[in-house]
Amino acid sequence: MKKKGILLTTLALAAIIGTTTACSSDKGGAQQNPPATKEAQQSFKQWDKPPAMQIDENKTYIAHVETNKGKFSIELFAKDAPKTVNNFVFLSREKFYDGIVFHRIIKDFMIQTGDPLAKGSVQALKDNPQIGSGSPGYRFEDELAKRHTYEKGIIAMANSGPNTNGSQFFIVNGKSPSVDYLNKKAPNYTTFGKIVDGMDTIDKISSIPVSPSMSGEPSFPEEDVFIKTITIEEK
């Protein structure tokens, strides 16, 4: 399986934000949310297909995220990335993200979370080779036509290739050459929101000491940092 994450090359500082999934594609036409499956085998829900479209593109959606390091709020781009925002709203309301760790932290580049396999203390997770591969059980297509510039505060989906979005996402936290690379060479990640409050929390998370992950990338947090819950405000 391919992990969803950003892989940095030593020369180009190439940014490829990836995850690992083995899921069915969205064929469209769903009129109601699919039932959760596989919950008995693991500690998180999964579904056989993406959620039915339930958001109103003409409304404003704000995601209020509470972490153990503070709070921040995201204005979601409902008109520019409706399927992605609908997915995020659905998973947030299902409490899918509750307890999930920020498993990749790269200062001045991005912080990544949303992997349901990444729950628990970071010490217990550090040697788990599956971290970075979790999903909600399905994947769905990219929405790149109205992509926003990758810059500090922008939220985008992680993926393992074209049209492999699931639940993992990243928040750009700086202006490193890797961010420039995303904009110039690899604009392949659906942007679906921006931080509108609580950037100090993002900075605090971004400053957490890190050590090498199992891949050798210096990005795994040395202290617990996780999402407590996400509340969606609709107006």
Residue 27 lies in a domain: no
pLDDT of residue 189: 97
pLDDT of residue 26: 38
The Cα 144–Cα 131 span in angstroms is 26
Residue 123 lies in a domain: yes
| More confident call, 92 vs 122 | 92
Residue 104 lies in a domain: yes
CA 165 to chain centre: 9
Residue 223 lies in a domain: yes
Q: Which CATH number do you get for residue 156?
A: 2.40.100.10
Which of 114-118, 149-153, 215-219, 226-230 shows the lowest per-residue confidence on average (mean pLDDT)? 215-219
Q: Which residues pair with 100 in a beta bridge?
A: 119
The Cα 170–Cα 96 span in angstroms is 16
Residue 47 lies in a domain: no
3-state secondary structure of 223: coil
pLDDT at 16 over 60: no
Sign of CA dihedral 181, 193, 22, 44: positive
pLDDT at 94 over 90: yes
Q: How many domains in the chain?
A: 1
**Residues spanned by the domain of 184:** 59-234
pTM attached to this predicted model: 0.85
Residue 31 lies in a domain: no
Residue 120 lies in a domain: yes
Q: Which residues pair with 233 in a beta bridge?
A: 62
Residue 54 lies in a domain: no
The Cα 215–Cα 196 span in angstroms is 33
